[in-house]
Structure 1
Amino acid sequence: MRYQADIGVFGGSGFYSFLDDVEEVKISTPYGAPSDKIALAKVGDKRVAFLPRHGKDHQYPPHLVPYRANLYAMKELGVRQIIAPTASGSLKPEIKPGDFVVCDQFVDRTCGREDTFFEGPIVKHISAAYPYCERLRELAIKTGKDQGITIHDKGTVVVIQGPRFSTKSESRWYSSMGWDVINMTQYPECILAKELGICYVNIALITDYDAGLEGRDDIPPVNEEEVVKVFEENNEKVKALILEMIKRMDKDVDCPCHHV
């Protein structure tokens, strides 16, 4: 393939609009078209591929994002490491809107999504015990702390089907299970990267308290407007964190993730 990249980022045009010499390319895959064109740019000495997981016009709801095409396109470009920021809700009072969480576990509550590349005749059973790249997690935590961001160094994200938000009862159940963060896109994105031998880290930007917190009538249930508002208020912090991570990343690293 003519086009190549070292690092992938699932993020909208705000992540690369200020970079020079950005080239947008169309990539076809055996799993259909990715969410949108992929933007290729240089960050220092690294070639980076940016792809908005929902599409530039946010035309794909969480349950219809073409996850397999997105990940396969990154693999086709030669990407070996992916940074995946997400807007997420908090299930705990100590994890506040505006905080970042570097997740270390997920719980899948989705249904019907195409969530594996191993559909036969080749069948593999990979371990999902540690779904995220520990090396990239440590880099994200260190970089965030260096930038003065309130960043939580671990968290379990429960992934719901969407596009609706949780009921009060569902949210109460998720909290009672000890889960920390709620999101609609981490599955199967995370595990598809693992199947392809790509390092993957999620940085969850907390935008809300889901359906509210138990015993806190002053905290209203999440709504779309509030999510967008908090995300936009913190977008510059997300960009700064990701760009600094890219600068600190070793593009020639050999990681256990590459040998799943």
Structure 2
Amino acid sequence: MPVRIALIGGTGVYDPNILSDIREEKIATPFGTAKVKTGVYRGREVAFMARHGEDHSVPPHLVNYRANIWGLRKLGVKNIFATAAVGSLNPQMGPREFVFADQFLDFTRSRPQTFVEKGVVHLDMTDPYCPELRRLLSRAAAELDLKHHVAGTYVCTEGPRFETPAEIRMFRQLGGDLVGMTSVPEVVLAREAGMCYAAIAMVTNFAAGISPTRLSHQEVVDVMAANVDNLRRLAMRTIEMLDPERGCLCQEMLFDPSAVQ
């Protein structure tokens, strides 16, 4: 049975035991080795990948995004649900609420952004996050009575430090709703590799200068831990609703994958 669905776990989401018959795999890619666990949920093969490692030891700016996404592609994955802990710039998007981002602003600096290193490929990013997967997430969240937002602009920063209040003011003026450190280049690489990608962003706190208290990583971890059951319910209900063999414009590759193998 092919693996068509993947869940990428971010901060606070390390446990693949929502699956049965779990197998661990190490996948060789042109960009390094990707570690993934595959298992079964409701008769469907699902891949689980811990973005920061199972012990949360890999900071966001050092994640090997290219190996991770290429490894999922080699498994046959066509649909990725990626969880992310985010800060909010938008007073309407409060802690413990889910946001299904539809746009991003990229403020990363040192990360490889593409698989394509020979030739010229211009990737359309009009809809960076798959509209169909976002609709499914919204339906599942409504069914589970989880407070959610169907759209939002994710500002991706380099990390691993938090942002300054001045940066947050700038991001708000540019139209940002959320701030995090992992969506780019993950979402870009998924599109290059011909996979649908949706971000399940969970607000853990208001960003610097908006929050009345100083920010801490422990605060992020604590809020994720308190809400991780809701996140799992949301992800798994959406996977139940998804047709793993569906087609989508997101799944059209614009380059020959043999060129990087």
Instruction: State the TM-score, normalizing by the size of structure 2.
Output: 0.93
Letter in 2 for 1:46: R
Q: Are positions 1:136 and 2:130 aligned together?
A: no
| Contact 1:5–1:77 (CA under 8 A) maintained in structure 2 | yes
Q: Output the aligned Cα RMSD.
A: 1.4
For residue 19 of structure 1, report the CA deviation from its aligned partner: 2.9
Match of 1:170 in 2: 167
CA distance in 1, matches of 2:20, 2:110: 40
Q: Which runs of 5+ in 1 are unaligned?
A: none
CA distance in 2, matches of 1:160, 1:221: 18
| Contact 1:210–1:221 (CA under 8 A) maintained in structure 2 | no
For residue 123 of structure 1, report the CA deviation from its aligned partner: 2.7
1:26 aligned counterpart, secondary structure: strand
For residue 178 of structure 1, report the CA deviation from its aligned partner: 2.1
Match of 1:246 in 2: 239
Match of 1:233 in 2: 226
Match of 1:30 in 2: 30
| Contact 2:6–2:46 (CA under 8 A) maintained in structure 1 | yes
Percent of aligned positions with the same letter in both sequences? 39
Match of 2:145 in 1: 148
- CA deviation vs aligned residue, 1:119-139 (integer Å, no higher than 9, x gap): 10x431111121010000100
For residue 58 of structure 1, report the CA deviation from its aligned partner: 1.2
2:103 to 102, 105, 115: 105
Greater displacement, 153-162 / 13-22: 13-22
Where do residues 43-122 of structure 1 align in structure 2 (5 Å cutoff)?
43-120=41-118, 122=119
For residue 5 of structure 1, report the CA deviation from its aligned partner: 1.1
CA distance in 2, matches of 1:117, 1:161: 19
CA distance in 2, matches of 1:258, 1:52: 23
| Residues 77, 144 of structure 1: alpha-carbon distance in 2 compared, 3 angstrom cutoff | same
Match of 2:193 in 1: 196
CA distance in 2, matches of 1:68, 1:129: 21
Q: Which runs of 5+ in 2 are unaligned?
A: 254-261
| Contact 1:15–1:239 (CA under 8 A) maintained in structure 2 | no
Letter in 2 for 1:162: G
For residue 66 of structure 1, report the CA deviation from its aligned partner: 0.2
CA distance in 1, matches of 2:6, 2:235: 11
For residue 14 of structure 1, report the CA deviation from its aligned partner: 4.5
Structure having the larger proportion of residues in strand:
2
Match of 1:211 in 2: 208
| Contact 1:90–1:206 (CA under 8 A) maintained in structure 2 | yes
1:21 aligned counterpart, secondary structure: strand
CA distance in 1, matches of 2:21, 2:251: 30
For residue 241 of structure 1, report the CA deviation from its aligned partner: 0.5
For residue 176 of structure 1, report the CA deviation from its aligned partner: 2.1
CA distance in 1, matches of 2:68, 2:205: 27
| Contact 1:104–1:130 (CA under 8 A) maintained in structure 2 | yes
Instruction: State the TM-score, normalizing by the size of structure 1.
Output: 0.93
| Residues 18, 132 of structure 1: alpha-carbon distance in 2 compared, 3 angstrom cutoff | closer
Letter in 1 for 2:107: R
CA distance in 2, matches of 1:51, 1:7: 11
Letter in 1 for 2:125: A
CA distance in 2, matches of 1:113, 1:64: 8
For residue 221 of structure 1, report the CA deviation from its aligned partner: 3.2
Greater displacement, 10-19 / 103-112: 10-19
| Contact 1:207–1:231 (CA under 8 A) maintained in structure 2 | yes
Letter in 2 for 1:233: A
CA distance in 2, matches of 1:155, 1:162: 20
The runs of 4+ residues in structure 1 deviating greater than 4 Å are 12-15
